[in-house]
Structure 1
Amino acid sequence: MTKKNLPIVDKNSRYVVSAAEMKRCDQATIDHFGIPQDVLMERAALSICKYVKKSLPAGGRVLIFAGSGNNGGDGIAAARILHQDDIPVVLVLVNHKLNEKAASSKRTKACEQQLKIALSYGVTVIDFDASSINNEIKRSSVIVDAMLGIGCTRDLEGDYKSAVCEINYSKEDFDEKAPHVISADIPTGINADTGQVQGHAICADETVTFGFLKMGCAFYPGAAHSGEIHIVNIGITDDGFLNEPPRFKYIDIPDVSEMAKLLLPKRNPAGNKGSFGKVLIAAGSKRISGACIMAAESCLRSGAGMVRVFTEKTNLSAVQTLLPEAMTDIYCEEDFDTNESEVFKAAKDNLLNALLWSDAVVCGPGIGKGKAGREILSIILENAKLPLVLDADALNIISDDEETRKLICGYEADMVMTPHLAEFSRLIDKNIHDCRLCMIDETIKLAKEFHACIICKDARSLITDGERCFINLSGNDGMATAGSGDVLAGLIGALVVSGFSNVTEAAAIGAYMHGVAGDMAAIKNGRQGMTARDISGGLRDIFSGQSNIL
């Protein structure tokens, strides 16, 4: 795939970082640019205090759990600032003791210094004691978790485990009187790279994260443990990466009314239906009629000038009734039973003519894994030299058939593949339960194998062409409904002909807009009852610039 700039994505995206990337940026800020660590820690503490004060009721009390590292130092500094503001606060030392000698202490130098300052101001400091901490928790309105930060890489043990369990138990035991929990940087117990729970993890109401969003807060289950996330500037900026930027970005457009204007190429005011792109949708079968309709409808709503549906003849009436704007070509599944028959040649010629007409192709939704679906996919792969979007059954055929997989690897034009996690597991030949742990590396590997852009769909989707990597944070669990992927496939089909510099850019923006459309649909219809076609309605709202929904 030709390497190009992605100006629209670059302009509207932000970094999401691993633990190593964050540490590297943090250290460069100190060593290369000369900002003292104490200054960064003080600003982090001030940010924590800002959100503590927002959540603290009048006369409320704050309990801060501080570990022995720099995350603990942030918490200790926050305790001192709150104390100086006459807010009742108790500082709990976890995994280190108040009377430890500096020479033998587990505390980092910065943490040790912050503790000395806090003590000199008279902050109340206690050692963690599992047998009595529940009484302290009951007396507190806000709890700050500043125990481990991004340093958690193995299952919690000892006092860390006990402290996390006691804080989480308070949410269950106290109901509406439970203290409000704020985590510093990332909830303790969440792996900063994967989002996995290391045995136990804080269930925070809010997370105040410093500089950049952490991968562990972006991926589930870490995202669910993080609550509302606040990304705060403490002086660590993009400059700290020293021209070696993080691997992943995410798109972020706070104002829905600006989304279409900011994310989509400008349309030619003198254009016509032909110049806005002609997309062929090869979808649907005898058993499944809705897939071709949902993909085609989404494609039309997303800006394609013309859409042509190649589908089994039993779907013709439904397409013509529900989507009169679409053109149709039909075949009989039996036409593909014998490759030498006249009806096969006629069906193949019909598909080849449709390919000649097209600017891009979407193939796979509902075509089935039988003889007809396999032949349709093979004809497209052998004859098309167009941007190609592969979804659903097309991906399952590739997983089952080595010859088709070879055709994919040799496809000469741009390609986007949109597997959900089960389809992804079949493509990489791994158990679905293991896929989340290797999702990043395996998606990049698959993209390189197929020379394609992969959208690996899950609660957090990954988008990569093997070089550029994006994570999509939009969307909700209401989108886990039949047909949602068909809507995405149609949307991507429209975007790849709309003037983006690269299909990866179209795919990243398409995944984001699909999720936002799902969020809008959930507000209108509720997550429990929303359907895939409601997501298409959300796309209409985005393109119309509605701003009163999210």
Structure 2
Amino acid sequence: MKNLPIVDKNSKYVVSAAEMKRCDQTTIDHFGIPQDVLMERAALSLCKYVKKALPASGQVLIFAGNGNNGGDGIAAARILHQEGIRVTLVLCNHSLHDKGIGARRTVACNSQLRIALSYGVNVIDFDASKINAEIKKSDVIVDAMLGIGCTRNLQGDYLTAVCEINYAKEDDEDKTPHVIAADIPTGIDADTGQVQGHAICADETVTFGFLKMGCAFYPGASHTGIIHIVNIGITDAGFLEEVPSFKYLDIEDNNDISNMLLPPRNPAGNKGSFGKVLIAAGSRKISGACIMAAESCLRSGAGMVRVFTEKTNLSAIQTLLPEAMTDIYSEEAFEGGMDKELSEYKEMLLKALEWSDAVVCGPGIGTGNSGREILKLILENSKNTLVLDADALNIISENDDIRKLVCEYKAEIIMTPHLAEFSRLIKKNIHDCRACLIKEAIKLAKEFHASIICKDARSVITDGERNFINLSGNDGMATAGSGDVLAGLLGALVLSGFSCPFEAAVAGAYLHGVAGDMAALKNGRQGMTARDISGSLKDIFSGKTL
């Protein structure tokens, strides 16, 4: 598998429950670090953030399940107690009356409870009739009930505890408890981020070793609060030769994004050497798409941009984007009866393809005759990296012959479907897509031999072998034209010196999200527009960031 020198250097693993359990067990069995040591370090990490949130003379309430996540919570209760902090430990789904190990407690959990009791920690059994009073007395609540072990809807003590904690946080009273989740909020599926009926709404989540998939994907991500990834002794080495399937970009210093993530530019370069991008976009009814894609491309480092668009867009492009070159056509010619003009337009497009180093096709071209013919001509004649977006994707989903041309395309392709376009490409109902997004995105990448950016609140980027989740961006980016900005950005990045278009796709999705975050700070999420995102790209590339 080809190395991604820039992206891999700045990325970390995001893990499923099975991957985390395997790494945990390898750390214990292969490297010989005792489980009690790992649990003690997890508990110390929890205590660090509890003490930061706890007011003077405050009280802590810890809910501990009967698994190893509960063991982390029990150990934290003992450490806090030893430091003179008032703490009450509540046993959920097990009891002080349970003797020994077995179905009610894991070995490590049972051991930690025995130690806590010997130190005199205040331990109580869960009592639904009294738990509300305990919650109201508390300043900080620690959720150490289930961790990554939640795979079905909550029941019993767990359900009641989650509901009572969440009710307390929604209370109108001045004092509401600060909630810290251990590893992942109880009620969140660690693999999918789905809520299992109900889930803790945490203010902070202290997650051990690696970010969990359930904390990365929504709706789970909306339950975590601020995430702290802490090192408790479980490292990449624990994966041995079988590394996790997904990574995410993580650049700690936002002020250094351009230096960390962009290949160096040639100081002796010229507009030709920095790349020529052809953007086939816009139609009679939609003029903004071609302008936003072209502007984004120019702001992202392309040396020259040529826009192939419907003639009614010429004046707007010349006024708003005089830096771009233009070739224009008439939609009427593609409707029939204008053979000479149509031949001239096709010849113009072929010459533009010959001129270009990369092609962006799709934003606003429509799905009618002109859009179909333009896409077909590009697929049959271009030999360069191709970014397919918006209407190009809809045309592919509707036309089997054009879909076949995509599969047979000899050069690299990046496809950028949002969830609705993705659902059409995989021929599934949009409401069913999130549940199978990862699997189907990988399948689609393999079918088209392409890099896929499936755009959502958490975008998935895959080439069928390597997989990334993008964590940058915000809901303000759900605005018309945002995808056009990404398409233009990618058109420039594939010519910027990345090791391959897939690396450019991962970097592009991340930079697009960072630009969206910057635009939100300047303009507010509700009021920001796609051109605000494009403007923020200029700031990123000039070294000004969050």
Using structure 1 for the length normalisation, give the TM-score.
Answer: 0.98
Q: Counterpart of 1:319 in structure 2: which amino acid? A: I
The counterpart of 2:468, out of the listed 459, 462, 470, is 470
Is 1:166 aligned with 2:180? no
The counterpart of 1:182, out of the listed 165, 180, 183, is 180
Which residue matches 2:280?
A: 282
With 334-343 and 43-52 compared, the bigger mean Cα shift is at: 334-343
Residue 174 of structure 1: how far off its partner (Å): 4.5
Can you list the C-alpha shifts for 1:325-366, whole angstroms capped at 9, x where unaligned?
000000000111239811111110000000000000000000
The counterpart of 1:10, out of the listed 8, 11, 23, is 8
Q: Counterpart of 1:498 in structure 2: which amino acid? A: S
Matched ranges for 1:14-33 at <5 A: 14-33=12-31
- CA 176–353 in structure 1, closer or farther in 2 if over 3 Å, else same: farther
Are the equivalent residues in 2 in contact too, given 1:68–1:107 (CA < 8 A)? yes
The counterpart of 1:101, out of the listed 82, 99, 102, is 99
Can you list the C-alpha shifts for 1:408-440, whole angstroms capped at 9, x where unaligned?
111110000000000000100111111000000
Which residue matches 1:215?
A: 213
Is 1:39 aligned with 2:37? yes
CA distance in 2, matches of 1:228, 1:454: 29
Which residue matches 1:142?
A: 140
Q: Counterpart of 1:106 in structure 2: which amino acid? A: R
CA distance in 1, matches of 2:141, 2:225: 14
Residue 21 of structure 1: how far off its partner (Å): 0.4
Which residue matches 2:400?
A: 402
Where 1:362 maps in the other structure, the secondary structure is: strand
Q: Counterpart of 2:193 in structure 1: which amino acid? A: G
Which residue matches 1:430?
A: 428
Are the equivalent residues in 2 in contact too, given 1:292–1:311 (CA < 8 A)? yes
Are the equivalent residues in 2 in contact too, given 1:339–1:345 (CA < 8 A)? no
Where 1:14 maps in the other structure, the secondary structure is: strand
- CA 101–318 in structure 1, closer or farther in 2 if over 3 Å, else same: same
In the alignment, structure 2 segments of 5+ residues that lack a partner are none
CA distance in 2, matches of 1:115, 1:320: 73
Can you list the C-alpha shifts for 1:275-312, whole angstroms capped at 9, x where unaligned?
00000000000000000000000000000000000000
Which residue matches 1:347?
A: 345
Q: Counterpart of 1:36 in structure 2: which amino acid? A: P
Q: Counterpart of 1:414 in structure 2: which amino acid? A: E
Which residue matches 2:305?
A: 307
Where 1:156 maps in the other structure, the secondary structure is: coil
- CA 148–270 in structure 1, closer or farther in 2 if over 3 Å, else same: same
Matched ranges for 1:457-496 at <5 A: 457-496=455-494
CA distance in 2, matches of 1:15, 1:391: 28
Matched ranges for 1:254-333 at <5 A: 254-333=252-331
Are the equivalent residues in 1 in contact too, given 2:461–2:505 (CA < 8 A)? yes
With 251-260 and 273-282 compared, the bigger mean Cα shift is at: 251-260
CA distance in 2, matches of 1:339, 1:414: 35
Are the equivalent residues in 2 in contact too, given 1:304–1:497 (CA < 8 A)? yes
The number of aligned residues is: 546
Residue 397 of structure 1: how far off its partner (Å): 0.4
CA distance in 1, matches of 2:174, 2:336: 68
Are the equivalent residues in 2 in contact too, given 1:478–1:527 (CA < 8 A)? yes
Q: Counterpart of 1:124 in structure 2: which amino acid? A: N
CA distance in 1, matches of 2:407, 2:16: 31
The counterpart of 1:521, out of the listed 508, 519, 522, is 519
Which residue matches 1:204?
A: 202
- CA 498–445 in structure 1, closer or farther in 2 if over 3 Å, else same: same
Are the equivalent residues in 2 in contact too, given 1:96–1:105 (CA < 8 A)? no
Which residue matches 1:72?
A: 70
Where 1:177 maps in the other structure, the secondary structure is: coil
With 94-103 and 125-134 compared, the bigger mean Cα shift is at: 94-103
Which residue matches 2:419?
A: 421
Where 2:264 maps in the other structure, the secondary structure is: coil
Are the equivalent residues in 2 in contact too, given 1:455–1:461 (CA < 8 A)? yes
Where 2:241 maps in the other structure, the secondary structure is: coil
Q: Counterpart of 1:494 in structure 2: which amino acid? A: A
Which residue matches 1:85?
A: 83
- CA 515–175 in structure 1, closer or farther in 2 if over 3 Å, else same: farther
Q: Counterpart of 1:98 in structure 2: which amino acid? A: L
Residue 105 of structure 1: how far off its partner (Å): 5.0
Are the equivalent residues in 2 in contact too, given 1:277–1:306 (CA < 8 A)? yes
The alignment's C-alpha RMSD in Å is 0.9
Where 1:5 maps in the other structure, the secondary structure is: coil
Which residue matches 1:192?
A: 190
Are the equivalent residues in 1 in contact too, given 2:209–2:231 (CA < 8 A)? yes
Residue 257 of structure 1: how far off its partner (Å): 2.1
Can you list the C-alpha shifts for 1:77-116, whole angstroms capped at 9, x where unaligned?
0000000010000000000001111155510000000000
Are the equivalent residues in 2 in contact too, given 1:256–1:542 (CA < 8 A)? no
Where 1:4 maps in the other structure, the secondary structure is: coil
Residue 159 of structure 1: how far off its partner (Å): 0.9
Q: Counterpart of 1:485 in structure 2: which amino acid? A: G
CA distance in 1, matches of 2:128, 2:419: 41
Are the equivalent residues in 1 in contact too, given 2:101–2:107 (CA < 8 A)? no
CA distance in 2, matches of 1:259, 1:420: 25
Which residue matches 1:510?
A: 508
CA distance in 1, matches of 2:371, 2:103: 66
Where 1:64 maps in the other structure, the secondary structure is: strand
Can you list the C-alpha shifts for 1:206-262, whole angstroms capped at 9, x where unaligned?
000000000000000000000000000000000000021101000011222211111
Which residue matches 1:156?
A: 154
- CA 159–260 in structure 1, closer or farther in 2 if over 3 Å, else same: same
Where 2:431 maps in the other structure, the secondary structure is: helix
- CA 430–120 in structure 1, closer or farther in 2 if over 3 Å, else same: same
Which residue matches 2:363?
A: 365
Where 1:122 maps in the other structure, the secondary structure is: coil
Are the equivalent residues in 1 in contact too, given 2:181–2:202 (CA < 8 A)? yes
CA distance in 2, matches of 1:175, 1:155: 30
- CA 385–50 in structure 1, closer or farther in 2 if over 3 Å, else same: same
Are the equivalent residues in 1 in contact too, given 2:332–2:338 (CA < 8 A)? no
Are the equivalent residues in 1 in contact too, given 2:101–2:110 (CA < 8 A)? no
With 376-385 and 332-341 compared, the bigger mean Cα shift is at: 332-341
In the alignment, structure 1 segments of 5+ residues that lack a partner are none
CA distance in 2, matches of 1:103, 1:258: 51
Where 1:481 maps in the other structure, the secondary structure is: coil
Residue 69 of structure 1: how far off its partner (Å): 0.2
Matched ranges for 1:528-543 at <5 A: 528-543=526-541
CA distance in 2, matches of 1:155, 1:96: 18
Residue 176 of structure 1: how far off its partner (Å): 3.7
CA distance in 2, matches of 1:175, 1:292: 52
- CA 532–292 in structure 1, closer or farther in 2 if over 3 Å, else same: same
Matched ranges for 1:220-239 at <5 A: 220-239=218-237
- CA 416–175 in structure 1, closer or farther in 2 if over 3 Å, else same: farther
Where 1:8 maps in the other structure, the secondary structure is: helix
Are the equivalent residues in 2 in contact too, given 1:74–1:146 (CA < 8 A)? yes
Which residue matches 1:453?
A: 451
CA distance in 2, matches of 1:106, 1:35: 25
CA distance in 1, matches of 2:270, 2:103: 73
Moved over 6 A (4+): none
